[in-house]
Amino acid sequence: MSQIRVQVHDHTGTIVLSRPEKRNALTRQMMAEIEQAFRDLHLEKKVRAVVLTGSGPAFCAGMDLGEMSQTAQQSDAYALWEQDARAYRELVETMLRFPKPIIAAVDGAAVAGGMGLVLASDIVVASSGAKFGLPEPKRGLVAGIVAPLLNFRLGGSRAAYLLLTGRLIEAAEAQQMGLVHEIVASQQIWARASQIAVECGQSAPEAIAMTKKMLNETIGDHLQTLLAAGAALSSAARTTEAAKEGRAAFLEKRPPNWP
């Protein structure tokens, strides 16, 4: 069963993360499906912009820690974690290279890898109830792939603040930081994101594609190298005793007892 939904209406494509019962946590299957959706919408000539959103009470809770814990029980766990980190990095890179505007419509929590999807988008519309954060250190993990994106979008000082505290911020604070561009009521979020997609679609597709290339590949020329280094660090962090304890504490809903 597919873990996303893809819709096309006029010149706008919509990708909906569709695991509401798991707060749209990212599995290997979901990451592969999202990447394929972007590839398909890239080839769909009538689509001028894409809205990325989540179903249910959250945008995306990050990586599925249940799947991560199951991987830990396998003899080839490290190789699988390397593959997972590479798959997430490739998804982020696909979004950055995607030649059409991506508008993230965020309602509820966008944390960890979910916040990475927001940072890989071009424009962010959030509900007043949206929350953002990178709690990886609280789970014994490292946000190795998201950190370069965060630094690219918001700068080193704000990246350090969010990464080292691991705290959640509300939509209003995220807007002050520059992470969120517009805040609307929850029931209006998809409609507003679609309006922005239509507005972007009024420009010449070739000019938009070249502008995105300039922003994400010329101005952000070191991003690819940093994302690759971050993927290595992220997968290595998953092998530590701290990560083992962090995963267990999260799944057992208790405070971690750090080694």
Active site residues per annotation: 136
CA torsion sign for 194, 167, 128, 159 is negative
Angle at 68 between CA 64 and CA 72, to 5 degrees: 170
Angle at 48 between CA 17 and CA 218, to 5 degrees: 90
C-alpha–C-alpha distance, residues 41 and 256, integer Å: 42
C-alpha–C-alpha distance, residues 13 and 52, integer Å: 9
Helix, strand, or coil (residue 117): helix
* Sequence-separated contacts (24+) of 219-223 with Cβ below 8 Å: 220/96, 220/152, 223/96, 223/148, 223/149, 223/152
C-alpha–C-alpha distance, residues 120 and 232, integer Å: 19
